[in-house]
Every structure is written in C-alpha cells, then in structure tokens.
Structure 1
Amino acid sequence: MQNPSWFLYGPGSAKIVDRPTPTPKNELDVVVWIRYFGVCGSDVHFWKEGGFQRKASDEKPIVMGHEASGTIDAVESGVTSVKTADIRFVSGWYSWPTPPDSHGALTKYFIVPEDFVYKVPDEVSLQEAVLVEPTSVAVQATRLAEINYGQDVVVTGCGTIGLLCAAVAKAFGARRVIFGRYYTGQARLCAHLPRLRREHKSTIQTGIFLLKAGGSYVQAGLGKAKPEVPMLVLSEKELRVRGCFRYGSGDYELALSLIAEGKVKPKAMLSSVTPFETAILAWDKTARGEGVKNLIEGVKD
C-alpha cells in the first residue's frame, strides 16, 4: 500500500483504504510520516455516532485522527523552518476535516502547511508529542480561567483534558487542585489526588455551587446540549462563565515548552499502543473507559 488510511463511513463502520501518496500543492507544504496517533473522546464519538454536525457516510467518508506526531518525509522549496528527518508533530488545525478537501491524520503520509508544523525537542518522545495537542487545549482553558498564583482550582473530570488542565493550572501557580469523579481506567493517576466529597447532578451545577463570588467557570468538555444551570446562584455570585473550544494563538508553543521543561508530564498518561491495522480496538478500548490516553502506532516501513 502507498498511503493506507482509516476511513469512517458511519457509526461503527470503518476500514483501511489505500490512497495515492499525497502531492504537495504549494511551496510551503510539508509531508509528514505519521508515527503515532492519540485516541480522543471525539474519536470515540465519531466511531459510535458517525460524527457531530457533519456525519460520515458511504458517499462522504472521512479519515479519522487529529492527535498525531511524526517525522518529516519531504519539504517543498519555500519551507525554511524544518528539514527532512526532523522530529515534528502536526497541529490539530486539521481536527475538523471537510472531505473531500481535507481529512484527518490517521494515515501514513499527511500534508500540512509549514506554519502548522513544530519541532519536538530531543527530550520529548514521539509518543509524548501526541499529547501536545490536548495540552494546548488545557493551556487555552487555563488561560480563560485567568488563574492567579495561590488560587485553588477544581477540575471535575479526570480524563486526558482534565488531568492536563490540572497540570497546567499548577504550572500557572495554582495552590491546590481538587478533582471530581473518575473512571476505573483513570484510577492509577487519580485515586491518590484530593477529591470532592460531594458532587451535584451535573458538572456545571457542581462548579457553580462550589465557586466563590466572582470566580471563573470554564467549560472545556462537551456535555448535554441543554443542561440545567442554576441561574440564580450564577447571578448572585457574579461568576464569569466561559466556553472553551480547542486552542488559540500561542497555545501550541506554550504547551510544548511546558512538556519540554517537565512541568507537564504526559508520559504517565500513556496507557497502551495499538497497531495501525487494528485501530478499531483502540477506539473500543477508549469507549469502555480503559486507560487514560491510548495510542495507535503509525504505519511501519
């Protein structure tokens, strides 16, 4: 196969399809050989539901994957910041594919503009580099919360994003991080951490009731479309409520530096590595709540 790729055709329907090796379209394109992929909660949702707003179908299948790391396979003439054989990781800019014009990264070769390719320091492995994308989400959420030195922070979920939010909050100067509920697969990392004694019906309610007057609530994860919100309490406390959708300018660079400096340690979150040919097993494993961050290994030589 030239360029094997995992296509999703709908809920529970996916298969490997060979595609031609991609051809760069302009002088600033970089061809990346993808080595590892991370399985995200959104991947599970796509696998189970076929997508969010734009559903995959037999007529419009999509290539899965948006957390990825790899090495440079080729660069075009206008590229100056990277070179062949450098270790890189790919930006999550491609995490909302619009087939047939663009797809995800669960493939062998992937083309990305130079501006969205970052060098990974030698002290960060390719497996750890996969976590730069979700770490950048945590950076954005923590920035939106406007955490100051010495503050206490509550994180209501112990999944990948929640754990990374806690790590980034500590790096930003939080005095103490308290966690909410966690699943069996997350117990290895969460069981010894400070926990809430009681939680409300939803994480939104928990957060609003817990916060002091003038506190900040940031919704970094996806929940029910129409949750119950205690508006009176929210208004009385004059809380700042923010939504968080992925990341913004500078978040990738800061996420990478936090990992390289050891302030965020993603290695402890890596739970398993599944061969490319059996990627479905990694989606199912994550759907069952097994592990924290399950990886899929890229296509080998």
Structure 2
Amino acid sequence: MAATDGKSNKSFVLNKPHDVSFEERPVPTLSSPHEVLVAVNYTGICGSDVHYWEHGAIGHFVVKDPMVLGHESAGTVVAAGDEVSDLKVGDRVALEPGYPCRRCVQCLGGLYNLCPLMRFAATPPYDGTLAGFWKAPSDFCYKLPEQVSLQEGALIEPLAVAVHIVGRQARVTPGQSVVVMGAGPVGLLCCAVAKAYGATKVVSVDIVDSKLAFARDFAATHTYKSQRVSSEENARNIVETAGLADNGGADVVIDASGAEPSIQASLHVVRSGGTYVQGGMGKSDITFPIMALAIKEVTVRGSFRYGSGDYRLAIELVASGKVDVKKLITQTVPFESAEEAFKKVKTGEVIKILIAGPNEK
C-alpha cells in the first residue's frame, strides 16, 4: 500500500477575494529523481496570504485563476526520488516554498531569492501548501532535528525571513543596538534573532500595546509605542527611551512594518554611519527623508525572503533554544477551519495561527 493511499489531498483554494473553497485535488506525482513528496502537517498564515484572500493581488501578482493558499509549512516525507540521498520516507521537514531556476545570473551569483523565474508557493500563478501533499526538490526540504516539533517547523519560514534581514542584510554583530519597527511575527522574530546575534539593546516599536507587551516578554529589551507626532519627535522619543543618545542613535534600524511613518522615523533613529534595512512591504511610493540618509551616510539595504543557508540557520536557532518560536503560536486549528483562521489573523486576534493538514488527526 502506498503511503498516500486513503489519504486526502484536500486543498484550501482562493477563487477570488473572500471566495474560498475546499477541493479534493490529485496527489502530486514525482517528476524528477531529485524530488520528494511531503504530507503537510502544519501551515502558518502569513500577511501575504491574508492580503491575497482580501484583495486578490499583491502589486503585479494578481490571482487570475483559483490558487491554493499557504507557504509556511512543515510535513513528513512520504515518497522520495531515486537520486534523493539526504532524506527518506518518515523524515520530518521544514519546507522552503520557493524554487529558483538555478541557471540565471542571480542564482549563479548566490542570490537565488532574486531569481526572476522563481516559482513561489501561493504567489500567482503557483499553488501553495495548504493541501494534503506537496511536491518539492529535496534540497529545499530541511530535516528537522528530534527536538524541533512539526509545529515549530512551520515557523521556520518566517524565522528564515528574519535571519535574512538581521544576519545577511543588517549584519548585526555582538554589542550593537537594534531598533525594529513593527511587532508583527517577522518584527518579533527580528528582535529574537538580533538578540541571538548578541545585540545588547533590542527595541521593539509598534502602535499596539498588547504587541509591545508580548515583544517585551519575547525578546525586546526596550519597547516604544509610536505616537501621533512627527517622525522626528517619535525618533527622539525612541532614542531617549532606549538610552541611545550617547551612541548618536541605533547602530541598526529594521523596518518590519512597511508603514510610511515608521520608515520616516527610522532614518532619524539610526546613528550616523549606521545601517537601515527595509524588510516590511507597504505602498510602492512614499515620502522618504533623503537628507537624513545622505548626511548620516547611512547604509541602506532591502531584504526579500531568504537565501542560501538562511533556513539551516533558522532551524539551528530553534534547535539550540536561542529562539523560542513556540511562544508565537496562539492557536492550532483543524483544516476545515482554515477560513476562520484567516479571519482571526485579519482582526489581529492572534500572533501566529497554525492550520493542521487535512490528514492530521
């Protein structure tokens, strides 16, 4: 009997904004000896999933045909191609949900996250992982150590985003001060990774008291609630609250919100010669304090998803106990409650909600 016999490939499908359905789809078949078939155990909901559910598009990525949602997943290998040597049936894995072409200038230069031919789960026209089974190249499936649960494995994807922001782009080093704008899941994880990298001051900034209270318990050494004042005044308040005046501001500022006021304040918080990283996504065009950027000689970097080594490091941070992603999990719901889970994320009732796979009982 095959490992998939009697199992469901029920999928959570977005037809158009606020129009979803459950569909029983064929179980994927391996088309390469380097692929594996994974039974999806748990999937987290990301802000981009909610955005597609609400609006049917993100920028130029438009849902034109029914699309399976979800991309933050962990599962169990149920079949492996003949050339797969590092994974076997029964292994528990975190799924990296985007597959580059491996041949373009970006891929060959080690920047596969920037591949123009990237096939990324739940990004039109590609289906996502909120289904019973997922087919993937074996080198984009990462075996979980025994001490890392499948629920934690589903959070490796957003943690890898934070690893890329903090480690690759911000290049945080021990003893630095780091301010993170936004206390959503990625912002919180940026705080945790910065702390794991040895930052001695980690400041979480948001407009919601409950999020800041969680950030303080999770990883932040200081918190600040943004006020309805100028970006310069908010920046001064952040510097004063966190005791950053002697340093001339923060060594590193990360925006994980995409909100224009946060981005504006960030350039006034960062010290001269410091580093600013844009991790959050918001409006395509904003008013930006370019004089502060120039006069301070700030190093500015964008950050997009994750690249080579980020997933492995994320798993190591969880396995070693340096980042406790379990604290982010507010609730786990059955597959049939997927739409209710999306509604909860939208209303801000949860930090991170997991949806169990349709075969998870």
Among 3, 21, 25, which residue is 2:27 paired with?
A: 21
SS at structure 2 position matched to 1:249? coil
| Structure 2 residue identity aligned to 1:299 | P
Q: Please, which of 91, 95, 119 is the counterpart of residue 121 of structure 2?
A: 95
1:249 aligns with 308
Q: 2:228 aligned with 1:196, yes or no?
A: no
Q: Does 1:150 align with 2:156?
A: no
The question of whether the paired residues in 2 share the 8 Å contact of 1:183 and 1:289 is answered with: no
How many angstroms apart in 2 are the aligned matches of 1:167 and 1:79? 34
* Contact 2:94–2:144 (CA under 8 A) maintained in structure 1: yes
The Cα of 1:96 is off from its aligned counterpart by 5.2
Q: What is aligned with 2:51?
A: 45
Query: Aligned equivalents of 1:285 and 1:260: distance in 2?
Result: 29
Q: Give the superposition deviation at 1:246.
A: 0.4
- CA-based RMSD: 1.7
Structure 2: where are the runs of 5+ without partners? 1-6, 99-119, 232-259
Partner Cα separation in structure 2 for residue 36 and residue 187 of structure 1: 27
Structure 1 unmatched ranges of 5 or more: none
Aligned partner of 1:31 in structure 2 is 37
Tell whether the 8 Å contact from 1:7 to 1:15 is kept in structure 2 after alignment: yes
Counterpart check, 1:126 vs 2:150: yes
Query: Deviations along 1:6-65, whole A, 9 cap, x unmatched?
Result: 1111111111111111111111110000000001111110110112123223xx111101
Query: What amino acid sits opposite 1:283 in the alignment?
Result: F
Residue from 75, 84, 100 that aligns with 1:79 = 84
Q: Give 3-state SS (helix, strand or coil) of 2:206's partner.
A: coil
Q: TM-score, with normalisation over the residues of structure 1?
A: 0.94
Aligned to 2:267: 208
Determine if contact 1:185/1:290 at 8 Å carries over to the other structure. no
* Whole-angstrom distance in 2 between the partners of 1:172 and 1:187: 21
Greater shift after overlay, 266-275 or 181-190?
181-190
Aligned to 1:139: 163
SS at match of 1:212: strand
**Relative contact order, higher structure (CA 8 A, sep 6+):** 1
Q: Kindly tell me: are residues 160 and 242 of structure 1, through their superposed partners in 2, closer, same or farther at Cα, counting changes over 3 Å? A: same
- 2:191 matched to which residue of 1? 166
State the identity %: 39
* Structure 2 counterpart of 1:279, from 338, 345, 348: 338
1: CA distance between counterparts of 2:286 and 2:224?
21
Q: Aligned residues, how many?
A: 297
| Equivalent residue, structure 1, for 2:73 | 68
